[in-house]
Amino acid sequence: MHIHILGICGTFMGGVAAIAQQAGHTVTGCDNHVYPPMSTQLESLGIRLTQGYGTEQLDLAPDIWVVGNVVARGRQPLMEAILDRGLPYTSGPQWLAEQVLRHKWVLAVAGTHGKTTTASMLAWILEDCGLDPGYLIGGVPLNFGVSARLTGASFFVIEADEYDTAFFDKRSKFVHYRPRTLVMNNLEYDHADIFPDLAAIETQFHHLVRTVPGNGLVISQGGDASLERVLERGCWTPVERFDLAGGWRAEPLAGSASRFDVWLGDAALGRVEWDLLGEHNRRNALAAIAAARHAGVPPRDAIAALARFQNVKRRMEVRGGAHGITIYDDFAHHPTAIASTIAGLRAQVGAQRILAVLELRSNTMKLGVMKAQLPASLAGADRVYCYSGGIAWDVAAALAPLGDKAGTYADLSALVEAIAREGRAGDHVLIMSNGGFGDIHAKLLTRLRDPAAGPARARRHA
């Protein structure tokens, strides 16, 4: 089968492309943003890419057009031509469900936060224990080096996103996946561009729960009021809860930011010893261990596998350093994730300074829906630098509760210069964005490594 993917350079659709190619299909695709690294990754698989959505692509005559949710009515001439000619088309999630997932034991990881990391942990546990899972994850697990793969094994791990499917299917992507094992990490309001309120997202999660069979398993964070409301609306599947007394729980070791014991009820199951930080990652680990147990992996083996887990790109990833200043890259962009990320780093660095650098890039942040929560989420940092370019609401006013320790910058070069001038040996610069942030990491490292700038900074802070 020849499939042509519209919007192929998105993380999800690029994963679909890789899986389709591995399944033996001929895959081509197009996007408005055909450039590295996704273009390089896809072309290395032998996938031919076209820049833009021109109607000349009709000459490719694929068996089916697979449409990403970046495509909208009236914007792409190719999509309009497909509709006018009555050509066969489908969404990425539906194609994946029909061509791949219906043959698999699907382990889906849903939730506002932690989907990528938890799905990566789960895939790695299954891999380390010899189960050879396929997976599609919205990031790059460092243990694997690629975001998606197809194997001949029965298990398939998928990051189950609640964002909508396509312009012609406004259900959440995850309702297509029909999981046997479902992890629900947490549930908060997000995606303000498509959901009017939290109740609307809860309804989509309710639809997801309705698809899990009676011989499956739902693994849910205990004490999350939104998830409890979802389950109260109807659940026909056994439920296990984590981060809750009587269920799966983690007991951190005194004096350690990264070691903890795993318990299920009154039974001690083992000790996780790894490099990851923060309470959020302990929760992610509990969910992954519980899901792996449902697939037949003894908890002691899952715990041992996590000692070899290398995390995910852009999750507290060290990008470099200069003059004793360490630069981190992290995907956090929602206030809850921002607070958790800062808290995790604080547990590691103690009293050393954290300089938090934030890009307000997600649609929810651009709309200002979460601006009231921003000051509290950033309070754990010693200094805050917020990029306000392209934001219509008053970022400085929103951050006013942080006082003099917060600054806003509409110009990226000015932001880099401000961080470089303020930074001193021992500082930890935590850059948070769900996008490329104008390659700020490289720009900041270049500025810090400037021979003329380094000695001046050293004298200033001597």
Q: Where are the alpha helices (DSSP H) in 256-406?
A: 279-294, 299-306, 335-349, 363-366, 374-378, 395-398
Residue with the bigger pLDDT between 258 and 106: it is 106
10 Å Cβ neighbour count for 144? 17
DSSP 197: S
d(CA 18, CA 176): 19
Residue with the bigger pLDDT between 368 and 14: it is 14
Same domain, 242 and 375: no
- Ramachandran quadrant class, 426 (left: phi over 0; alpha: psi -120 to 50; beta: rest): left
List, for residues 254-298, the tens digit of each pLDDT value.
877 789 999 999 999 999 999 887 888 999 999 999 999 999 999
Same domain, 257 and 325: no
Q: What is the CATH number of the domain that holds 346?
A: 3.90.190.20
Confidence (pLDDT) at 452: 62
Which of 50-64, 238-252, 362-376 has the least mean pLDDT? 362-376
346 within some domain: yes
Confidence (pLDDT) at 460: 41
The whole-chain average pLDDT of the chain stands at: 91
Same domain, 135 and 270: yes
Backbone angles phi, psi at 240, to 5 degrees: -115, 140
Q: What is the CATH number of the domain that holds 12?
A: 3.40.50.720
Same domain, 154 and 204: yes
Same domain, 125 and 242: yes
Same domain, 142 and 203: yes
Confidence (pLDDT) at 36: 62
Instruction: Grade residue 32 by pLDDT with cuts at 50, 70 and 90.
Output: very high
What average pLDDT does the segment 99-107 reach? Answer: 96
Does the pLDDT at position 303 exceed 60?
Answer: yes
List, for residues 137-178, the tens digit of each pLDDT value.
988 888 998 889 999 999 999 999 999 999 999 999 999 999
Query: Of the candidates 96, 87, 42, which has an alpha carbon nearest to the alpha carbon of residue 61?
Result: 87
Kindly state the tokens that stand for 53: 């959505």
Same domain, 251 and 112: yes
What average pLDDT does the segment 81-110 reach? Answer: 97
Domain boundary residue, one of 91, 111, 146: 91
Range of the domain at 419: 317-460
279-294 and 335-349 helices cross at what angle (nearest 10)? 110
CA-CA distances (angstroms) from residue 50 to 44, 53, 77, 78? 15, 8, 14, 12
Q: What is the CATH number of the domain that holds 231?
A: 3.40.1190.10
Domain boundary residue, one of 34, 69, 91: 91
Q: What is the dihedral of CA 194, 311, 156, 186, to 10 degrees?
A: -40
Confidence (pLDDT) at 368: 80
Which of 73-77, 254-258, 321-325 has the least mean pLDDT? 254-258
**Using CA of residue 275, residue 276, residue 282, residue 288, what is the dihedral sign?**
negative
65 within some domain: yes
Residue with the bigger pLDDT between 117 and 348: it is 117
Domain boundary residue, one of 259, 279, 306: 306
DSSP 426: T
Same domain, 233 and 333: no
Q: Domains in the chain: how many in total?
A: 3
Does the pLDDT at position 207 exceed 80?
Answer: yes
Query: Of the candidates 144, 97, 154, which has an alpha carbon nearest to the alpha carbon of residue 123?
Result: 144
**Using CA of residue 212, residue 5, residue 36, residue 152, what is the dihedral sign?**
positive
d(CA 270, CA 189): 34
Does the pLDDT at position 40 exceed 80?
Answer: no
What average pLDDT does the segment 96-119 reach? Answer: 95
194 within some domain: yes
299-306 and 279-294 helices cross at what angle (nearest 10)? 140
Contact criterion met (CB below 8 Å) for 353 and 427: yes
Alpha carbon of residue 58 to chain centroid:
34
Same domain, 79 and 107: no
DSSP 253: P
**End-to-end distance of the chain based on CA atoms, in angstroms?**
66
What average pLDDT does the segment 195-205 reach? Answer: 95
Query: Of the candidates 86, 62, 59, 84, which has an alpha carbon nearest to the alpha carbon of residue 74?
Result: 84
Query: Of the candidates 91, 228, 117, 241, which has an alpha carbon nearest to the alpha carbon of residue 170?
Result: 91
- 249's enclosing H/E stretch is strand 248-252
Residue with the bigger pLDDT between 72 and 458: it is 72
311 within some domain: no
Instruction: Grade residue 315 by pLDDT with cuts at 50, 70 and 90.
Output: confident
Backbone angles phi, psi at 262, to 5 degrees: -105, 130
312 within some domain: no
d(CA 185, CA 197): 19
Same domain, 253 and 338: no
Confidence (pLDDT) at 459: 34
44 within some domain: yes
pTM of the model: 0.83
174 within some domain: yes
151 within some domain: yes
Strands 267-273 and 259-264: antiparallel
Confidence (pLDDT) at 451: 66
Does the pLDDT at position 180 exceed 70?
Answer: yes
Same domain, 229 and 185: yes
List, for residues 399-456, the tens digit of each pLDDT value.
999 999 988 989 999 999 999 899 989 999 999 898 778 888 889 998 888 866 543 3
Confidence (pLDDT) at 332: 79
DSSP 54: -
Same domain, 152 and 240: yes
Q: Where are the alpha helices (DSSP H) in 100-192?
A: 115-128
Kindly state the tokens that stand for 359: 């890009």
Does the pLDDT at position 48 exceed 70?
Answer: yes
